[in-house]
């Protein structure tokens, strides 16, 4: 909700707190979802390098726990971040993988 109103610092603080709580309770799927939300907030602010790191972490965790929806969402935001970074070939590869997961789900 904070991100919708462009209150990014509040959104980041809320998501960081939520991520800590998800880690404490051991809900790895929730961690993936929160990391994807964090990557989207960073994308909205054009914080590309950090956003790519977060999206990559989310993707790796989602793959590790076999969470197709999380994989799909991480690929989508990572593709958008790569496009903003003008890494078009990598962005295209990620969006192609994204559509493979969309078709699986």
Per-residue confidence (pLDDT) for residue 15, from 0 to 100? 95
Supply the pTM of this predicted model.
0.89
Which residues are CB-contacts of 30 (< 8 A; sequence separation ≥ 6)?
18, 22
Largest CA distance in the chain: 38
Across the chain, what does the average pLDDT equal? 92
d(CA 37, CA 87): 22
Count how many domains the chain has.
1
How crowded is the C-beta side of 22, counted as CA atoms within 13 Å?
Answer: 15
What is the band of 2 on the pLDDT scale with cuts at 50, 70, 90? very low
List, for residues 3-52, the tens digit of each pLDDT value: 555 788 899 999 999 999 999 999 999 999 999 999 999 999 999 999 99
Among 75, 77, 69, residue whose Cα is nearest residue 38: 77
The CATH number covering residue 68 comes to 1.25.40.10
Provide φ and ψ at 27, rounded to 5°.
-90, 90
Which residues are CB-contacts of 61 (< 8 A; sequence separation ≥ 6)?
28, 31, 32, 35, 67, 70
Identify the domain containing residue 73 by its residue range.
3-104
């Amino acid at each position: 909700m904070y991100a919708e109103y462009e209150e990014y610092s509040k959104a980041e603080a809320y998501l960081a707190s939520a991520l800590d709580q998800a880690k404490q309770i051991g809900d790895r799927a929730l961690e993936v979802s929160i990391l994807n939300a964090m990557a989207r907030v960073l994308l909205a602010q054009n914080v590309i390098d950090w956003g790519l790191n977060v999206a990559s972490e989310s993707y790796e965790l989602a793959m590790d726990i076999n969470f197709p929806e999380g994989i799909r969402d991480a690929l989508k935001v990572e593709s958008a971040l790569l496009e903003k970074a003008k890494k078009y070939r990598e962005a295209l590869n990620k969006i192609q993988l994204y559509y493979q997961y969309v078709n699986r789900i």
